[in-house]
Amino acid sequence: MSLDLNTILKGWPHESSSIKVRKIAGLDGREKLQLRVDLGVLQMEVTGRPDGRCPHGCESLLEYHQKRAARAEQKGETYELTPEQCAELQQEGIQYYHRYLSLFQINDFKGVVRDTQRNLDLFTFVAEHTDREEFSWALQQFRPYVLMMNTRAKASILLGQGKFAEAIAEIERGREAIVDFLQRSNFPELVSKSAEIAFLDEWLEEVTAKRPLSKLEIMQREMETAISKELYERAAELRDAIKLLKTQKQV
């Protein structure tokens, strides 16, 4: 059997302007994700660690270190990561980045939420278990982007269910989380320059514009139209109906 990948690559050309992802059936019978990159293809497991390995018998290196840290805490000991361990955890985080980016392209938003939250937990864990600022910031610098992707996935799930109000609230929460992080990181000037915040602001406007009007909003608009057309009797009827609807909502 030839090890040359050209046959596969020519049948699935790379396009720099788009992210190309597909699911395939592995020889082990499980689904795999494939991400086309400029020099080849990245293949990942859909669940567990993307490369399919179980370091130290755990699902991931992060889980392994979390368990060790928990045992150390029970003994009243401090658990500190070495520079090498921080580098290994960062490399593992990149695997999950490739996967959640791929999952987003195929609209597997639950998988995106899972993997982005996992990397957010990674950032927090490393920050809590190293006193080297450069090691912590090597990961924390990506928090705004991961928060944005986490927010996009959560809000997309809600939009798919027609829950516009909940989706809008989720986008607002994600935006505020990014703002809070940047301000606490002593980089408040980055708030106005953040591409992640700019994207969420633009998306928020788009989603808000598409949100179906509630019964109350429809009646209020009808009343305003009636007033502008000097249909005062109709406007009065709508005003009374609006008051009644508001009262019913308060009960």
DSSP assignment letter at 188: G
Burial of 139 (0-12, 13-18, 19+ CB in 10 A): buried
Check if the beta carbon of residue 158 is closer than 8 Å to that of residue 170: yes
**In the chain, where are the structural domains located?**
161-212, 215-250
Q: What counts of helices (H) and strands (E) characterise the chain?
A: 10, 3
Give rounded-to-5 percent helix, strand, coil for the chain. 65, 10, 25
Would you give per-residue pLDDT tens digits along the chain (251 residues)?
677 888 888 889 988 888 899 999 999 999 999 999 999 999 999 999 999 999 999 999 999 999 999 999 999 999 999 999 999 999 999 999 999 999 999 999 999 999 999 999 999 999 999 999 999 999 999 999 999 999 999 999 999 999 999 999 999 999 999 999 999 987 778 888 999 999 999 999 999 988 877 777 788 888 889 899 888 888 888 888 888 878 876 65
Residue 78, both tokens: 């401090």
